[in-house]
Amino acid sequence: MSFARMTRGIRKFLQFRYFRYLLLERVLRSAGDLVPKSAMFFGRKFFFGEFHWSTSIGPSCEFRQLKNIYLARNVMINLGAVIHAPDVARAVRIGERSQINPYTVIYGTVSIGKDVMIAPHVMIAGGGHAHQRIDIPMIAQGSDFKGGIVIADDVWIGANSVIVDGVSLGTGVIVAAGAVVTKSVEAYAIVGGVPAMVIGHRGDGKDITSRFHVPDAAVAQDGEQA
């Protein structure tokens, strides 16, 4: 391979926005304290649709279509999170002070409000696969888009939950760990289960944790039988 051809190949590789971002991240992280925080900030600000000085991204995160990802002030994206935005302007928006915890995956068109807490290993899928036809494989049927996902302010999503396309979570909603949310949820409701159902409301004075509590007598009896 000639030097000129190799140079053209390298130039073509670097034309991809995401790979340029990965290269920048690798260089800056490898340099560690030798590179000022300002260099990391301006590098990211160049690639993302919106990025602020106070925005935090942990190691091993993965992004696609960075120009369509908008991260507001004090957003925290932790270890191993994945955000794959479609080629749609402002496809993924995350509001101020929201937290995306380790290994959460966000696909498709997703709007997340302010002060949202998303626990580890959550799947937020703002899109899906068409599957109506049976004469061709589902992988060849394209996408089935139902409008994306909207998560309002002050929402708490528990670990290992799944939020599917077309769902809106109202202000103050709590999603219990392991829930699969297939329908929109009204403000301040607490949902859990597969599929998720309303199991309580915030502010009603009831402690919903009692619904999952095993009485001491039952524990003792189980222990005796064992």
Residue 64's identity, in one-letter code, is R
**Which helix or strand (DSSP H or E) is residue 19 part of?**
helix 17-31
**Kindly report the CA angle at 52 between 48 and 58, in degrees rounded to 5?**
75
Q: Which of 52, 84, 121, 129 is catalytic?
A: 129
Residue found under tokens 């301040």: 188
Give the residue from 69, 130, 132, 141 showing the smallest Cα distance to 100. Answer: 69
The 8-class DSSP code of residue 210 comes to G
| Peptide bond before residue 137 is cis, with ω within 30 degrees of 0 | no
* DSSP-based three-state secondary structure for 11: helix
Distance in angstroms (rounded) separating the CA atoms of residues 68 and 160: 26
Question: Alpha carbon 218 to chain centroid distance?
Answer: 39
52 labelled catalytic: no
Distance in angstroms (rounded) separating the CA atoms of residues 107 and 115: 20
Residues marked active site are found at 129
